[in-house]
Structure 1
Amino acid sequence: MTLLRHTIGFLLWMGCTRYKTSAGAVCEDPPLIDFGEIVSGRLSGYKENDRVKYTCNHGYTLSGSQWITCSEKIWVPGPPQCLKRSCGSIPKVSNAQIEGRNKEMYEPGETVHYQCDSGFVIAGSPEIICREGNWSAPPSCEKEKPCDFPAIENGKLSQSLENYRNYYFPMMFGQYVDYHCTDGYQTPSGSTWFRIVCSAGGWSPEPKCLKKCHLPWLQNGFFQDSHKRVFTEGERVKYGCSADYDTEHEGGEITCTRDDWSPPPRCIRKNMTCEPPPEIAGGSIEGVKKSRYLPGESAHYQCWQGFEMMGPSTVMCHSSTWTELPQCKGRGGKCGPPPLIEHGELLSFRKNEYAQGTTLEYKCPSLYVLEGSTTITCANGQWTNPPVCLVACTASEEDMARNNIHLRWRVGTKLYSKSGDFIEFQCKKGYQKDPSSSPFRVQCVEGTIEYPHCKPAKNCTLDEQIMKENNIESQSQRQRVYLTGDIVFFECKHWWHTKVSAADRFRAECLDGVLQYPSCGSRFG
């Protein structure tokens, strides 16, 4: 009836306004509305394009435009209405009654209190409130269940409860007991004693005794960003190592587990051993080469017949490198067989002896980069320095999947990069950069890539209340949940709204569960 009365009144006012203003150049005074008032505008004598603003009394919501404008002797759009923000009948809750008498309509701010029937316990707030025409979430009434004796691994109740468990248990809803953890364990709060209460779902919170881990002494290392010495099962801590030492496990992170720290922290000395001594032109190593040489171990060279040793014949392993290598010079300026290079080959047949001034050429296979001169020359019984073939890098799909990343720039299915090239990665959707990760712009170094790492991130769920308050909506009406890295395109909700935020804000990126919402305002104020 109220809506019909306002509609008829508005139509009559429209007709009268058109008639009264047909002879003049101004609009009549704007109409008054029930349960509201005009808060902005002139007192009288309205001219073309003058505007007035309406507001509603407390407990009422405005339906229609807040602003109206004098245009061609009438007010456009028509005046708004103030509708009461009341709530209808209360939500029904099984196995519950309300305090007081039920009504058909409830005023904004009114509350209703539920009570569960005998044998049932309440879950959630027992009170609901009428807000903006809607009820807050009602509780539920769950069947009351007794709580049996709690079995706590690595913990126990007081001795009297343990001894007379059949007398004290089961316990009913609301009753409580205290328990303590045995040596080496603690409650989730970090204390020795903890209280649990019998609730509808059993003991709350769930009684647990978690392993305590004390930070161990770490030889040649230290623990990072840690001011405490005792940790609880599931907690993690990072450690680092002093100079000349590396963490045994990549990342240097350990976790407190039921079996103490895993993996055990350990700093190991950096690799100080040497690869087998390299080949030299016109000579070779005496005896059989070993695969690795320890610091201080030595190797001996000998020159071939017709070649003369220049420099000490013995070399020593020191800090993963060999001392200066000797040279074997051919008599009469001649050179022996040219040096072999890994992954490369000569463009001519290999001979045992070459005249002074001879030049030979090397090449590298496809996807390898030749570093240095492609040619060597025999000069004074020695070959000039040969080139090196640098192996290409392969960005493995398996390694990228394991680190939750993919190539930032990719042409077709090419996953290969030459040594020295830079490769850029980025996180897959739904993941974000791990603070402990290596850089995402990586250089290929002799066939090796150090992969960065991304960790799982939170999704973004569109907040309907914020969107309503900001007068916006997403262009994709059906999609409500977005992964980190997804772009959400927003637009103003209605034609009478215009963008208030900068245009680029309407293209929002989901970042670890956070969305920056733009806003729109009324075109009429």
Structure 2
Amino acid sequence: MEFKSCFFFLVMVCSGKLFAEDTPCDLPHIENGNFALYYYTFKSHYFPMHKGKKLSYSCMIGYTTEAGSQDGRITCTAKGWSPVPQCYRKCNKPLLENGSFYSTEMYFKIHEKLEYKCNPGYHTPNGGTEDTVQCQTQGWSSQPSCTKRLESCQVPELPHGSYSRALREVQLNSALRYSCAEGYRTAAGNTSETALCLAHGWALTPSCTRITCSSLNEVAHGGFHPVKKIYEEGDVVHFFCDKHYSVTGFDLIQCYDFGWYPDPPVCEDVKKKCPLPPLPHGHVNTVRRTYHNGDKVHVQCHGPLGIRGSEEIQCEGGKWTSPSICTGTMNKQEYEAPPPEADAEIRASQARHNEDMKMQQDCAAPPVIKNGGVLGPVLASYKNGSSVEYGCQHYHFLDGPSTVYCDHGNWTEQPACL
């Protein structure tokens, strides 16, 4: 029985191997070409073909195989037909003024190259006297051309820029320096550069282009203002979030010559801030107005009371994990033993938190500083937690934090421009 099983397994393996090596090939599709008509008429008789069988095809007029011939031949292999039958369009000899081709042929096959030269006083697009083009699937790699060799370059008008010299033309192989106004960049992306006059014209034609920043993507659970198709250098964008979401990062960004700064923020779930932990006969080691998701505090009980639960609790999703309880008994004297200022601070903190939850105070316009100011437009009021960025005028530098925050109706410390 064991011998029969092994024999059956070997037969299956060998049969599978033989079958894999003899994978049939069906009638292939060939664009701009065809096979003999009888292959289509009696397809079920000839196909599928087995490994080793050969098949001839012809390309339509104006097309050739990759080898450049009108007819091709393919072979059925374990992986299919090889090579894959393809017909490529021939390239007609292009027109050329003020120059001539080295070849007298009128049609060229795929990948074939064609050399040409320009007449005296003319040059190719790269400034030389000779060049080569190649026949590709979409046509010639480039259009052969010969243009008259320039003796000088005409100086173009330069909106938003100025030249170092007042010239109407620049002689061949000579240069002219120019610079662009603030907010604009040269053809190479600089504030100023030197333009060189070559035989075929300017190496880079002098121009001054407005600096722009990339468009901004939509903000999930929020938005921004103003919305433009194109943002220019100096533009400031203000981000805002829907209810129950808050801006992570800076809510104001500006377009600079190097792009947006700081990076555009996103709107994230507020995760519901936690109030001060309710802990009769106890207190926490760190008293704050509000606690954020992930904040941890250590719990301590008054006097001889013991703690039931964890000594450390964490704010998660607006609730404290495993609230602790102070258990045991203590007399009035023991209860009053903790410093009264601690309880007063806790009560004050609870009152402040309740007040904050009812209304978060907005801030008025940020303070004005000498020799500087806020980058971008100044709003009439700012939501609690918003921020603005300060910048200084030319020849002054910033001393202090560049970013100022609205903290419950008051702005944090402003910088100075020295």
What TM-score, normalized to structure 2?
A: 0.32
Higher relative contact order (CA 8 A, sep 6+): 2
What TM-score, normalized to structure 1?
A: 0.27
